[in-house]
Chain A
């Protein structure tokens, strides 16, 4: 029987195929105990293979905490993470753009390796839960065959690059940011300068200043499309922001450049990556995000450092090569525009759906239709049928949104009633997208190791209650946004919602009780222009009452067309808190109402005992450690080739492993060293052998000479014994490189400069 690897070989880009092969080898090495669990953990995270609640082998079942005896016999895929425990797979969807074919493959994967549920995240990705790690290489190959990579979906890397889902069709945009978001995503993917971060980097694009879609102000790097007139001509560029982020302590991004020329976008991002890799915090992960570096240095100093770095970057033709293709970039509508005629029959519910879910495009006769997904979820069956609807009505253009929905662009107005009927038939015709009913939420305690409270449970409850009264709802309330996070880490983006909630816990009558901190007045518009203020923690089961009271107060006391943020600022925290004070204070006894002591959707007694160690930050593994692990992987593969009597390949792999290990050391002093053997051996000799930095107390330079000899003598003959010897030497050389690195760490770390030693 063919494997997916064989069946899809022709359709998988060569580099992606190699990367997946490498990951599969890393899995094998880990199983054989030949790859450290921390390095493997960060390796899998960088392929989007994430942990999930209870993967540490224990779970509170409502009565007691019990061990989950996974059959992996102590084998782990990371610290306190059992190999056989179900995990989460995150799949990056750059700028949220995907085709019907891609959606179908995603649906197949969810069905075969998970439970047939596809979850859209608050950063336009997909997540599948309850996945077994052994299925991930096949899954990656199936995705790669349709142009999707999971590389750098998690871990300390450049995460999914997001963008307005209406880019290119929005009437308010300066210009379409899609090709720039794509170019930057392609450029930074697996880029060597993005492999040594202390934490993740999130990047977003927006077509305008005023709307919310891009959420630029809460991103590490954010680009807003702007235009200016220069010598009488209109010129496009980006207002570039840096150092934004949510998390426990939100930071608004700072303006790095009011107008960054288009051709400077990629090199500037590269320079930012270099400065962050070099100066960003690595040891204290709680302060390792870019926002802390920008805050520590100040935006002026940060800008100066980036500009200095920019000047010495080695020229890369990719910085501008994509610009040549831009004039041809654009989406072609499937059908000619046609208005909705007055005599068209309209299905029941159509008008309401159209009011909330449909937005006119800047191209006359076309609209964008939002498909509201409850909690960001849809089934594989729905996804397949939706892919067919996309083909029928718009062709190729599907986007995910940060509000966990799907969008169809280029729908002609005349098709709307039929589209609505088709969506309704597959359970995707729900109205109330872009309203208070469309509550978004992170996974929370459903699956997240860090979740404190059931964010999805609460979101589901609020959604049900709000939908029931949406018809009688005041328009000002309808336009609000609710966002829920299961903990303070803000994956649900609660800071920038009108009404935000994040999970925490309080002890009442000797019992732990799930609570949500109420955060009011965040600004969703203007690219997440302001964060809200916490006013108090309320028991989880009373949050629906909080929503009712706050929104009622807003309707009754709003002045003119005052926004919710303006309203909350005017009336102040004290008054808002007084509205919910009694909900915070009084509580029934456990005997009176045991349900009060449980979380939404969970019949178990509430506990914090299931909290695990988060993997959001991954493990801080230095680039050198990564490179040495990769060199070892090559030596391992050399052994496999030797066992298959492929001597030439075995020789080449062992030699490559040594070169890469040497290169990793040289990079500590000469960052831009090319990985060509001539250069690496020369630089290694000068910097590590001649200086005796590589010397072991007893072996002196013995292990370095293994490399020099192989370099000078060339490939060993077609001789199994000679190849075996070379492989042994390669392993010893890599071991010596590890020891050398450890010695260097004990001394003062060498300064890294892009230019100094070139």
Chain B
């Protein structure tokens, strides 16, 4: 499967008490300080006025970082926009690395460190391309090997579950949860 538009969401820990708007100054400072490697950071967009939406977006040419709440739960979503090199497992791993690295940086920010921690025991994978990866069992099956490989790298073990999510009209998404 030649999927390029990969999205990965790391959920905030339930005890986190952060609001999307808290990310506005942080993302602006990231642009000032060019904090994200290999990404051309462009602007910050604030959609926090819309319930259960993308929240605050750090828009880059290659990808965007969203304080996403579209599934009702707060998290950091990495939304890839430009193609990446390598085979699908490598692309998924690269996206996971990007979101994990951003999450670590956010947890270290002075204005956020007391407010947010991200859960490393689960993540959500979204195939943001209905043409390449329609939300079907066949697509899910085709994605599983790459996703499993990337998940094993992410968790450092192979004890995890992959659960397909979403209605037919939604994009194919998979909740990946560690069981170790």
Contacts and interface: CB of A to CB of B under 8 A. Distances in A.
Interface of A: 1-4, 7, 53-54, 59, 61-63, 68-71, 84-86, 104, 108, 111-112, 115-117, 129-130, 132, 138, 374-375, 377-382, 384, 427, 446-447, 460, 463, 601, 603-604
Contact of B45 (A378, A446, A604): A446
Interface stretch (B24-32, B90-98, B157-165): B24-32
B141 to A, nearest CB: 16
Sorted from nearest, which 10 A-B pairs have the closest CB atoms?
A427-B51, A379-B53, A603-B25, A374-B49, A115-B54, A61-B32, A377-B50, A61-B31, A603-B28, A115-B57
Contacts of A138: 131
A604 B27 CA distance: 11
Interface of B: 2, 5, 24-25, 28, 31-32, 40, 42-43, 45-47, 49-54, 57, 59, 61, 64, 66, 70, 79, 81-82, 128-132, 169-171
Contacts of B50: 117, 374, 377-379, 382, 427
A69 B40 CA distance: 7
Given A54-B43, A84-B61, A115-B66, A377 B49 contact: yes
A604 B28 contact: yes
Given A4-B131, A54-B43, A111-B128, A71 B61 contact: yes
Given A115-B47, A379-B70, 9 more contacts: A1-B132, A59-B42, A112-B128, A130-B57, A132-B81, A381-B70, A601-B46, A603-B24, A603-B25
Nearest to A84: B61
B75 to A, nearest CB: 14
Given A132-B81, A601-B46, A63 B32 contact: yes
Which of A7, A70, A130 has the largest number of chain B CB atoms within 10 A?
A: A130
A279 to B, nearest CB: 42
B131 A7 contact: yes
Contacts of B132: 1
Contact of A86 (B42, B51, B53): B42
Contact of A117 (B51, B53, B61, B81): B53
A550 B70 CA distance: 39
B47 A53 contact: no
A62 B47 contact: no
A112 B130 contact: yes
Nearest to A460: B49
Given A61-B32, A111-B171, A116 B54 contact: yes
A54 B42 contact: yes
B170 A384 contact: yes
Contacts of B46: 446, 601
Grouping DSSP codes into helix (H, G, I), strand (E, B) and loop, the B interface class, with mixed when no group exceeds half, is: loop
B47 A68 contact: no
Which of A1, A61, A115 has the largest number of chain B CB atoms within 10 A?
A: A115
A71 to B, nearest CB: 7
A709 to B, nearest CB: 46
Nearest to B27: A603
Contacts of B45: 115, 129-130, 446-447
Contacts of A71: 40, 61
A446 B42 CA distance: 12
A62 B28 contact: yes
B79 A115 contact: yes
A84 B40 CA distance: 11
Contacts, number: 101
B131 A70 contact: no
B65 to A, nearest CB: 10
Contacts of B81: 132
A130 B47 contact: no
Contact of B70 (A69, A108, A116): A116
29 contacts: A2-B131, A4-B131, A59-B42, A61-B28, A61-B32, A62-B32, A69-B40, A70-B40, A86-B59, A86-B61, A112-B128, A115-B54, A115-B57, A116-B70, A117-B50, A130-B59, A130-B64, A132-B82, A374-B50, A379-B70, A380-B70, A381-B52, A381-B70, A381-B170, A382-B51, A427-B51, A427-B52, A446-B46, A604-B28
A396 B70 CA distance: 26
A288 to B, nearest CB: 31
A447 to B, nearest CB: 8
Contacts of A132: 81-82
B28 A115 contact: no
Contact of A384 (B66, B79, B169): B169
Contacts of A4: 131
Contact of A104 (B52, B82, B169): B169
A522 B47 CA distance: 30
Contacts of B59: 86, 115, 130
Nearest to A116: B54
Which of A3, A86, A132, A377 has the largest number of chain B CB atoms within 10 A?
A: A86
Nearest to B31: A61
A141 B51 CA distance: 30
A43 B132 CA distance: 29
B43 to A, nearest CB: 6
B129 to A, nearest CB: 6
Contacts of A129: 45
A601 B24 contact: yes
A409 B155 CA distance: 51
A50 to B, nearest CB: 16
A68 B131 contact: no
A116 B40 contact: no
A375 B32 CA distance: 28
B42 A68 contact: yes
B5 A112 contact: yes
Contacts of A86: 42, 59, 61
Nearest to A375: B49
Nearest to A8: B131
B43 A377 contact: no
B135 to A, nearest CB: 11
Nearest to B128: A112
B86 to A, nearest CB: 18
Given A115-B57, A115-B64, A53 B43 contact: yes
Contacts of A111: 128, 171
B53 A112 contact: no
A460 B46 CA distance: 11
Contacts of B61: 70-71, 84, 86
Nearest to A112: B128
Contacts of B129: 112
Contacts of A104: 169
Contacts of B64: 115, 130
B52 A377 contact: no
Given A62-B32, A84-B61, A111-B171, A3 B131 contact: yes
A70 B49 CA distance: 30
A112 B130 CA distance: 8
Nearest to B50: A377
Contacts of A54: 42-43
A427 B47 CA distance: 14
Contacts of A70: 40, 61
B62 to A, nearest CB: 9
A59 B170 CA distance: 35
A468 to B, nearest CB: 14
Given A115-B54, A115-B57, A116-B53, A377 B131 contact: no
Contacts of A63: 32
Contacts of B43: 53-54, 59
A447 B132 CA distance: 30
Nearest to B57: A115
A601 B44 CA distance: 10
B61 to A, nearest CB: 6
A618 to B, nearest CB: 24
A689 B128 CA distance: 57
Given A2-B131, A62-B28, A68 B40 contact: yes
Given A68-B40, A446-B45, A379 B28 contact: no
B130 A108 contact: yes
Nearest to B126: A111
A63 B53 CA distance: 30
